[in-house]
Amino acid sequence: MIAVLIGGAVSMFLSLFGTRWMIGFFASLGMGQPILGSEDHGPVHHMKKQGTATMGGIAILLSAFVGWLVAHLRDGIALSDQAMIMWAAVLVLGFMGFLDDFLKVRKAHNRGILWKKKGYITFGLVVVLMTWLLLGTGVSETLSFTRFDLPGWDLSAPLWVIWTSVMVWSTTNAVNVTDGLDGLAAGSALFGFLAFTVIAYWAFRNPDVYRLVNPLDLAVFSAAMAGACGGFLWWNAAPARIFMGDVGALGIGGALGLLAVTTNTHMLLPLICALNVMEAGSVALQMGVFKASGRTRRLFRMSPVHHHFELLGWPETTVIIRFWIISGLCVAAALAIFIADFTSIADSLGGR
Q: What is the DSSP string of 308-323?
A: HHHHTT--HHHHHHHH
- Answer yes or no: are the C-beta atoms of 241 and 23 closer than 8 Å: yes
Give me the residues paired with residue 208 across strands. Answer: none
C-alpha dist (Å) from residue 228 to 13, 150, 266, 274, 281: 8, 32, 24, 21, 27
pLDDT recorded at residue 108: 60
Write out the residue range of the structural domain in which residue 222 sits.
2-350
C-alpha dist (Å) from residue 327 to 14, 47, 72, 318, 321: 26, 27, 31, 14, 10
Supply the angle between the helices 118-136 and 157-178 in degrees, to the nearest 10.
Answer: 130
Average pLDDT across each block of 10 residues of the chain; the chain has 352 residues. List them in order.
93 96 82 55 56 86 96 84 95 91 71 66 94 92 91 92 96 92 93 97 92 92 97 92 91 96 95 95 90 84 87 92 96 96 75 50
Using alpha carbons, select from 173, 182, 176 the residue that is nearest to residue 46: 182
- Answer yes or no: are the C-beta atoms of 248 and 97 closer than 8 Å: yes
Q: What is the DSSP track for 72-130?
A: TTSTT----HHHHHHHHHHHHHHHHHHHHHHHHHHHTSSS-TTTTTHHHHHHHHHHHHH
pLDDT recorded at residue 337: 96
Domain count, the chain: 1
Using alpha carbons, select from 123, 124, 164, 162 the residue that is nearest to residue 140: 164
**d(Cα 301, Cα 176) in Å, to the nearest integer?**
20
pLDDT recorded at residue 40: 46
